[in-house]
Homo-oligomer: A and B are copies of this chain.
Amino acid sequence: MRNKKSAPTMKDVALEAGVALGTVSKVINGLPVGEAYRIRVEEAIRKLDYHVNSYAQGLKASKTYTVALLIPNTYHPYFSRLAYQINLSLLKRNYRMLLCSTDYDPGLEQEYITMLQQNKVDGIIGLTYNPNLYIEESIAFVSIDRPLGPHIPCIASDNFAGGQMAAEKLADLGCKNVAFLRIGSSLNNEPNKRKAGFENGCLARNLPYTLKILQDGDSVYEFEDFLREHMHNGKLDFDGLFCVTDRTVYDVRKILKKMGVRVPEDVQLIGFDGIRSFGDGDYICSTIVQPVADIAEMCVELLLQENMNMKPPLVCLPVTYQYGGTTRE
């Protein structure tokens, strides 16, 4: 890696400070030493970026400067952007990234956890849909989107705020009757909050709403039945739809086209994710954008942070609205 240095040792600190090894040990362990010595040692620790905990951990195996990313795949544009940003955040800190496209295989996930236990990687960042994943408390693991327990930091977009933002945006855009369309895992994951936030926003703005929730494995064409049931006199009952992901917007647009309902003239659509053509081009629809670069930075920061006694169990990062052609603005 670029400019990679091996982690500084207590000996390096002693050399840098010009003091005996025992003096460094005393400072680290909070034992009394002369004030001038303490200052010199502390300056050396800062200068060398020596991490006290790596000493305190004593027998911990040497670092690999490698972090594993477990992600279902890298071809879905949200996952591919996430993999890219996490890779950047790690490279910036002179860490390498092992990529494991799990294809939702729990076995693969568990294997990487074993690698971590064998000190073959320093930590894992995982986006997992495995409800039975067992992760020990002491393990360096950061989860994306799904809370895995109070000892595993979970990083997510502020999904509740995003749902609320979508409802308020549709209200601002003049919608009078809206619906929320959702398909996906029923696991207790963060995106579930999109619905709750949306309902909350609709209630706050006195906006009538309907929910249509499909499960994983259901056909997206059940949305077609739902929408056709809500056609009266050649007109859709809804003038606004909030879709749980941009992919759902994409599918629903195809259905609406077939039904002769125009977007955004007859009905305005807002998605969630912030998918862009070719990864960095136009937004493919009006959408609540997940802050992928911030999610990546936060994951890496929390994973590698050694001087923290308590890591935040859930971090929600702010989302934004972006126009992408499926709303009036």
**Once the chains bind, are A84 and B77 in contact (CB under 8 Å)?**
no
Q: Given the complex, which residues of B lie within 8 Å of A278, measured CB to CB?
A: 75-77, 247, 250, 275
Query: Chain B: which residue is nearest A88 at the CB level?
Result: B101
- Is there a chain B Cβ closer than 8 Å to A311's Cβ? no
| Interface check A305, CB cutoff 8 A | no
Within 8 A of B (CB), among A78-115: 79-81, 83-84, 87-88, 91, 96-101, 103, 107-108, 111, 115
Binary interface encoding of chain A residues 23-38 relative to chain B, with 1 for a CB under 8 A from any of its CBs, else 0:
0000000000000000
A73 at the interface (CB under 8 A from B): yes
Q: How far is the CA of A79 from the CA of B81 in the complex (A)?
A: 11
Known: A84-B101, A250-B281. A91 touches B77 (CB 8 A): no
Give CA–CA (A103, B279) in the complex, Å: 14
Whether, in the assembled complex, A74 has its beta carbon less than 8 Å from a beta carbon of chain B, the answer is: yes
In whole angstroms, how far apart are the Cα atoms of A76 and B77 in the complex?
8
Decide yes or no whether A280 CB sits under 8 A from chain B.
Answer: yes
| A308 on interface, CB distance cutoff 8 Å | no
Beta-carbon contacts of A14-28 to B below 8 Å, as 1s and 0s?
000000000000000
A111 interface neighbour in B1, B69, B83, B98, Cβ under 8 Å = B1
Give 17 new A-B contacts, CB below 8 A, not counting A75-B280, A88-B103.
A1-B111, A74-B83, A75-B80, A75-B84, A75-B279, A76-B279, A76-B280, A77-B278, A79-B80, A80-B80, A84-B101, A87-B100, A91-B100, A97-B99, A250-B277, A250-B278, A275-B278
30 A–B contact pairs at CB < 8 A?
Answer: A1-B111, A1-B115, A2-B107, A2-B111, A69-B99, A74-B74, A74-B80, A74-B81, A74-B83, A74-B84, A75-B77, A75-B81, A76-B278, A76-B279, A76-B280, A77-B77, A80-B80, A83-B99, A87-B99, A88-B101, A91-B108, A96-B100, A97-B98, A97-B99, A98-B99, A247-B278, A247-B281, A250-B277, A250-B278, A275-B278
5 smallest beta-carbon distances between A and B, as pairs = A75-B279, A80-B80, A99-B99, A74-B84, A87-B101
Give residues in A with beta carbon < 8 Å to B.
Answer: 1-2, 66, 69, 73-77, 79-81, 83-84, 87-88, 91, 96-101, 103, 107-108, 111, 115, 247, 250, 275, 277-281
